[in-house]
Amino acid sequence: METISLKIYRTLSDEIISGMLAPGQSLEEIALAERFKVSRTPIRQALRELAARDLIELRPRKGGIVTSIGVDELADMLEAMCELEALCCRISAERMSAVQKKQLELIHVQSQECVANGDDEGYLLLNKKFHHLICAGAHNKSLADTIENLRDRLSMFRAAQTGVDRRLTVSHDEHDEIIAAILASDPEKSYLAMRNHTTRLSIHVLDLIKENQT
């Protein structure tokens, strides 16, 4: 279950990424506490999370200032994430155990239920497990650690899929292709399926950021 500070962090990060909170805008602790009807403690925790991802610049004991999102740096990280996840998927097609493959199938079935019920939160949770399991299936700690670091830094940008028609269905259909390739132990198809999946999302994220900065 999400904590209060995490819910506030997610709300504010969505507003920053979507452009509702513009660069240079002040986020005052007192005003935010009144808005969310909470004490200043969870507000401070949420602001620290935003600062850790360079979405704001902290001001001691006051709040923060919304920073400008660097499109070039974001594009670099997204490109690296696309290639690394695709590489991981290629390796997993050759190394993933039978148990891990079955777990992947079960997660996919559960995800289909979320799609049918329009359960965005449930789907995103299972989506995280899906990608983590593929990463674990490569059995390469250095690669896993690098991907995890990038995934953490990009998490809120990659979650920004407002405006994507049938977002859950599209994502689930792409997962179908990824699973089919992994189960067939086909490294090249696994690589291409994952790269197609992550590249589509990356393009949308960059378009959204550019649109909000014009």
CATH no. for residue 15? 1.10.10.10
Q: How many domains does the chain have?
A: 2
The residue out of 66, 85, 108 marking a domain boundary is 66
- C-beta of residue 18 within 8 angstroms of C-beta of residue 208: yes
Which residue range is the domain that position 96 belongs to? 71-213
Instruction: Give the E-state strand segments of the chain in sequence order.
Output: 26-28, 56-59, 63-66
Whether residue 124 is found in the same domain as residue 207: yes
Q: What is the mean pLDDT of residues 171-192?
A: 97
pLDDT tens column, 103-150? 999 999 999 999 999 888 899 889 999 999 999 999 999 999 999 888
Residue 58's DSSP bridge partners are 64
> Domain boundary at 32, 66, 100, which?
66
- Domain final residue pick, 66, 99, 118: 66
Do 32 and 122 share a domain, yes or no?
Answer: no
Write 70-73 long-range contacts (CB < 8 A, 24+): 71/206, 71/209, 71/210, 71/213
Q: Tell me, what CATH number does 129's domain have?
A: 1.20.120.530
Alpha-carbon dihedral angle through residues 190, 195, 198, 204, given to the nearest 10 degrees: -140
